Amino acid sequence: MIARIHLRLLAAIPIALAVSALVFFLVEASPGDPSLLLLDPNASPHANDAQRAILGLDRPVAERFGIWMRNTLTLDFGRSFVDQVPVRDKIAAALPSTLLLSSVSLAIAFGLGLAAALASASRPRSALDHVLSAIALVLQSTPIFWLAWMAIAWLAVGWGWFPTGGTVSLTSTLEPGLHLLDRLHHLALPALVLGVAFAGEVSRFARGALVDTLEEDFVRASRARGASRRRALLRHAFPASLHSTISLLGLSIPYLVGGAVLVEEIFDWPGMGRLLVGAMVAKDYPVVAAGVVALATLAVVGNLLADLLAARLDPRVGVP
């Protein structure tokens, strides 16, 4: 198994390189000149040429692509075009916020999704099952940005239960004892939006796995020995189907990362999503490259952890 883990980690390298190359050509094809964003509009053309030379934008595309890929391999992306801050510092500041938001959202999604799946599988094809399946389908089909704006309009602005955005309130910085609670309060709504949006997918997937497992011979045998349907569901079917549901964890990482980009922008959450959106608008190539490589690596590692957890729950699965 250790050898397979090493192979999976090595496989992350060409994936990260391919993603980085794709991002380079997408950024290159986008309109605009990043050097113009750093100059006074009334600056002379010579000043613009000098700025392009400083940023390395005067070099041929092939040469800049080679530098881009070398930076991806060495994980040395230099400094931001916009503020000359080291790119590693920007990633180090933004990545923990995204990991926190994604982790809490993942816990909410699996908590709600598994609870709904158990309720549906306990009475398949009942009214409760149909209602929960319809809700899950609606959540799965709802654009996450619309869900975020509705949550802000109702829960934040309308009812005042949550702040509309940011990470901390000004008053909490003046009272250190309230700082942690205030951060959790600001985290709650974006994490809830992202978690509820993905809970529909978890519910439908887990419900199908549970219903199929309930038809297995070992579950039928437990019912024949006198076990109630509730006991057979919780003690036998649920643990046996959990490894297939855990495999969804690996597929959820790219979804959560993509959803976090929108949620962070809407809720003004200082994570990788906001960092990448701002860098793409400014055509800040080094930050874009580093951010995409970090997120692609995170997705690969998340898939590997999901496979390891599934293999731990059921050794017959193994690590592909």
In this structure, what token pair is assigned to residue 123?
């009475």
- In 3D space, the residue among 261, 260, 216, 269 whose CA is nearest the CA of residue 238 turns out to be 216
pLDDT score, position 112: 92
Residue 104 has pLDDT above 70, yes or no: yes
* Residue pLDDT, tens place only, 171-223: 655 555 566 777 788 889 999 999 998 898 889 888 888 888 887 777 778 77
Average of per-residue pLDDT across 63-68? 83
- Dump pLDDT digits (tens) for 229-238: 778 777 878 8
Residue 133 is encoded by which pair of tokens?
């399946």
Nearest to 297 by CA among 104, 107, 91: 91
Domains of the chain, earliest start first: 2-74 (no CATH), 92-313 (1.10.3720.10)
- Residue positions counted in the chain: 320
Which range (3-7, 14-18, 129-133, 202-206) has the least confidence?
3-7
pLDDT band, residue 62 (cuts 50/70/90):
confident
Separation CA 170–CA 103 (nearest Å): 26
Mind listing the pLDDT tens digit for each residue in 34-53? 666 666 566 666 666 666 67
Q: Please determine, for residue 76, whether its predicted confidence score (pLDDT) is greater than 50.
A: yes
Which residues does residue 86 pair with via DSSP β-bridges, in sequence order?
A: 79
Task: Show Cβ contacts of residue 190 under 8 Å, excluding neighbours closer than 6 positions.
Answer: 101, 105, 148, 263, 264, 266, 267, 269
Helix (H, G, I), strand (E, B) or coil at 163: coil
Which tokens hold the place of 237?
């079917």
Distance between CA 219 and CA 74 in Å, rounded? Answer: 53
Output the pLDDT for position 46.
66
pLDDT of 317 higher than 60: no
Q: Rounded distance, CA 3 to CA 8, Å?
A: 9
Render pLDDT for 1-10 as a digit per residue (tens, 0 to 9). Answer: 566 666 766 7
β partners of residue 79: 86
Of the pLDDT bands very low, low, confident and very high (cuts 50, 70, 90), residue 135 is very high
By C-alpha distance, which of 240, 239, 254 is closest to 297? 254
Per-residue pLDDT, averaged over 9-17, amounts to 73
pLDDT for res 48: 64
CB atoms within 10 A of CB 85: 12
Please choose, from the candidates 12, 14, 73, the residue with its C-alpha nearest in 3D space to the C-alpha of residue 304: 12
Contacts of 53 (CB under 8 A, 6+ apart): none
pTM recorded for the entire structure: 0.80
Burial-class residue 171 by CB neighbours within 10 Å (0-12, 13-18, 19+).
exposed
Task: Report the pLDDT value the prediction gives residue 319, as an integer from 0 to 100.
Answer: 47
Q: Is the pLDDT of residue 128 over 80?
A: yes
Residue 92 clears pLDDT 80, i.e. is over it = yes
3-state secondary structure at position 190: helix
Alpha helix positions (H), 152-271: 170-174, 179-214, 217-224, 229-231, 238-267
Asked which of 63-67, 90-94, 253-257, 264-268 is least confident by mean pLDDT, the reply is: 253-257
pLDDT averaged over every residue in the chain = 78
User: Measured in whole angstroms, how far is the alpha carbon of residue 284 from the centre of its chain?
Assistant: 22
- H helices present in the chain, as ranges: 2-29, 34-37, 45-55, 61-74, 87-122, 127-141, 144-151, 170-174, 179-214, 217-224, 229-231, 238-267, 272-282, 285-313
Q: What is the pLDDT of residues 255-271, one digit of tens each?
A: 777 777 788 888 888 88
